[in-house]
Chains A and B, each alone.
Chain A
Amino acid sequence: MRRLLYLGLFVLYLAHNDWWLWQDARLLLGLPVGLTYHLLYCFVVIGAMALLVRFAWPAQFSAAESGGAGAPRSEGVSDGGGSP
C-alpha cells in the first residue's frame, strides 16, 4: 500500500504538468479550464495526503501515539516505514 501511495505521489507530480490544456480557453464549472483543473488538482492532493497519513504513517510514530509496546521514548525517528 505504501509503495502504491508513493507511486501515486509521483503520478500526481507528473499530472501537475497539464500541457494538454495549455491553449484551451473553454470554461468549466464557471472557470477557465486550466484554473478548474488545478483547483480540482488541489482537492485530489488533499485526498492523496489523507491516504498517505492513514496508510503510510511511519510505524514508530503510530506506536508512540497509541502508547503501545515498543514505542520509542519520544517518538524518536528511525528510517523504518515511510522512507521514500
Chain B
Amino acid sequence: MTLAILALYLVLVLLVGAQSHRFLRSTGEGYFVADRSIGPFVLLMTLFGTHMTSFALLGASAESYRVGIGVFSLMASSSALVVPVVFFFVGTRVWALGKEHGFLTQVEYFRERFQSEALGIVLFVVLVTLLVPYLLIGILGGGITLNEITGGDIPQWVGALVVSVVVVAYVSYGGMRGTAWVNTFQTLVFMILGGVTVAVVLDRMGGLGVAMARLATEQPELLIRGEVFGRIELFTYTFIPLSVGMFPHIFSHWLSAKSAGTFRAPIIFYPLCIAVVWVPSVLLGALGNLDFPGLQGPAANSILVRMIDLHAPELLSGLLAAGVLAAIMSSLDSQSLALGAMFTQDILQRYVYGGKMEEVAKVRAGRIFIAAVIAATFLLSLVARSSIFGLAVWSFTGFAALFPIVVAALYWRRASAAGALSAVFTVVALWIFFFSRGWGSPGYTVADSGVMPVAVMFLVSTVVLIGVSLVTAPPEEARLARFFPQAPRSSGR
C-alpha cells in the first residue's frame, strides 16, 4: 500500500511537471524565472514549499518529542512574523528591480547594484558553499526516511536515487514554471498530511482533551519551555528566519512573480501555512511520549513514523511517505534550479561567453548544470554521514548573517561595494570561528550565554558594512539613479 501510494505520488509529480512544459519559452528568462508570470496562489505555495524542508514534518516532531511544545515558539512562530516581513520589505523590491533590469539571479543584482565583479564572484562562491550542504541534507534525508517508512523495503541509496531522478526530470524539463507548479502540488500534499494525521491519531487516542490531560499528568514538563532552551535563545533565534532574505532559491521565486501585488497573498497567508504544518508536527511529537516513552538519540527522529505505524499504518504510511518526499523535493528542486541559474548567468554567460550567450544555450547549460549538481550531490550522499544534518542550522546561520547586505543594497544609497565585500568576509570568518567551536555541540550558544551565533554574526556584519561603507568611496550617482530612481536625496539615509 505504501509503495503504491508513493509510486502514484511520483507519477503525479512528473505529470504536473510535464504539463508545465507546454508553456516553456526556451529563453533564460522563461526557464529560470518563468517569464515573471507566477500568480499569487502558486507564489505562496511555492515560496512556502521551498522554504520548508522535511524538518517541518520529521524534525519538528522529533524535537517536540524530546523537548516539548516550546519548539513551536522557537522555530515556527518566529518565522511566521519574520518571513512575511522580509517578503514585504525585501521581496517586493527585489522583484521590481529584477523586472526593471532583467535580473535572473541574486548575484546579478548585487554585482550590478554595487558595481563590483569581485563581490559577484565572492558571493557566488559563498552562496553555493552554503547551499550545497542543504542539498545534501535533502537527498540523504529522502533516502533515510523512505527506508524507515517502508520498513527497509526501499534501501537508503534507492530512495535517494529516486528523489534525485524525479527532481532532475521535472526541473530540467519544466524550469521555474514546472518547479513552481510541482511545488504547489507538493506543498498542498504535505499540508494536508499534517492535518489528516493529527486528526486520525487524536481520534485514536480518545480526542485532544483526553490526550492532553494524559500528557499533563504523565509528562507535564513537555507542556512548558522549562530549562530546555533559554529566554535569550528564544529572542536571538528570531535572527535565523532572516536567512530567507538571502537564499538564492527564494530570490529566484521572488523574481518569478507576475507583479508586486502578487506578493500580497504570500505576505498575508504565510503565517497560516506555518501553523497548518507545524502545529500537527509539534503535537504529534509531544504526544508520542505517551505511546513510545523513553526513546533516546536517533530513535526519537522517527517518532512520527512510529505514531503512524501504531495508529493508522496503511493509508497514512503512504501519505506520510508522499508528504516527506513532497517537503524534500519542493526545496531540492528550487535550490538546484537557483544553482543552475547562477552558474549559467553569473559564470558561463559572463566569463565564458563574454555576455553574448544565446538564449537557447542558456537553457541547455542550465539543464546540464542542474543534472550535474544533483548527480554530484547524490554521489556525495552515498558517503556522507548522518551527522551532516546538524549542518542545516549552520547553513541558515550563514545566510541570515548575510541579510544586512540585501537591506543595505535596497535601502541605503551610501552602502558601498567595499562595505558589502567586507561584510561577506566578516560573515565567512565568524562562521568558521563559531562552527569550529559549535560543531558537534547541539544547542551551542556563544560562551554558554544563550545567545545564538547568528545574532553576533548579524550584528558584527552590520557594523562592518556600515563602517566600511562610510570610510570608502560612495557608489557613483549614475549607478544609484538606476537603483533608486525616484530618490534624489542626499546619501546616508
Using CB atoms and an 8 Å cutoff, list the residues of chain A in contact with chain B: 9, 12-13, 16-19, 21-25, 27, 30-32, 34-35, 37-39, 41-43, 45-46, 49-50, 52-53, 57-58, 60-61, 64-65, 72-80, 82-84
Contact = CB atoms under 8 A, between A and B. Distances in A.
A25 B234 contact: no
B81 A45 contact: yes
Contacts of A50: 268
Interface in B251-289: 259-261, 263-264, 267-272, 274-275, 279, 282-283
A60 B69 CA distance: 43
19 contacts: A22-B224, A22-B226, A27-B213, A27-B223, A30-B208, A31-B69, A31-B208, A32-B212, A34-B70, A35-B283, A38-B73, A42-B80, A45-B80, A61-B92, A74-B99, A77-B93, A77-B483, A78-B485, A79-B410
B336 interface: no
Interface stretch (B24-32, B82-90, B366-374): B82-90
Given A13-B81, A25-B220, A84-B411, A46 B69 contact: no
A19 B231 contact: yes
Given A32-B69, A42-B272, A49 B267 contact: yes
A41 B74 CA distance: 13
Nearest to B84: A49
Contacts of B73: 16, 18, 34, 37-38
Contact of A61 (B212, B216, B220, B261): B261
Interface of B: 69-70, 72-73, 76-78, 80-81, 84-85, 88-89, 92-93, 96-97, 99-100, 208-209, 212-213, 216, 220, 223-226, 231, 234-235, 238, 259-261, 263-264, 267-272, 274-275, 279, 282-283, 410-411, 413, 483-487, 493
B96 A30 contact: no
A23 B224 contact: yes
B100 A76 contact: yes
A31 B80 CA distance: 19
Given A22-B231, A27-B213, 4 more contacts: A18-B73, A23-B225, A30-B208, A53-B88
A65 B76 contact: no
B77 A42 contact: yes
Contacts, number: 155
Contact of B411 (A39, A74, A79): A79
The 7 closest A-B pairs by CB, nearest first: A78-B486, A77-B96, A32-B223, A61-B260, A38-B77, A79-B487, A42-B271
Contacts of B208: 30-31
B239 to A, nearest CB: 11
B92 A32 contact: no
A41 to B, nearest CB: 5
A49 B282 CA distance: 25
A7 to B, nearest CB: 13
A61 B96 contact: yes
A27 B76 CA distance: 20
Contacts of A12: 81
B209 A30 contact: yes
B84 A45 contact: yes
Contact of B72 (A9, A24, A35, A49): A35
A30 B226 contact: no
B70 A76 contact: no
Nearest to B82: A13
B88 A52 contact: yes
Contacts of B484: 78-79
Most chain A CB atoms below 10 A, which of B70, B100, B231, B486:
B486
A35 B282 contact: yes
A39 B279 contact: yes
B338 to A, nearest CB: 21
A55 to B, nearest CB: 12
Contact of A75 (B85, B260, B483): B260
Nearest to A30: B208
B271 A84 contact: no
Nearest to A24: B224
A75 B99 contact: yes
Contacts of B485: 72, 76-78
Nearest to B487: A79
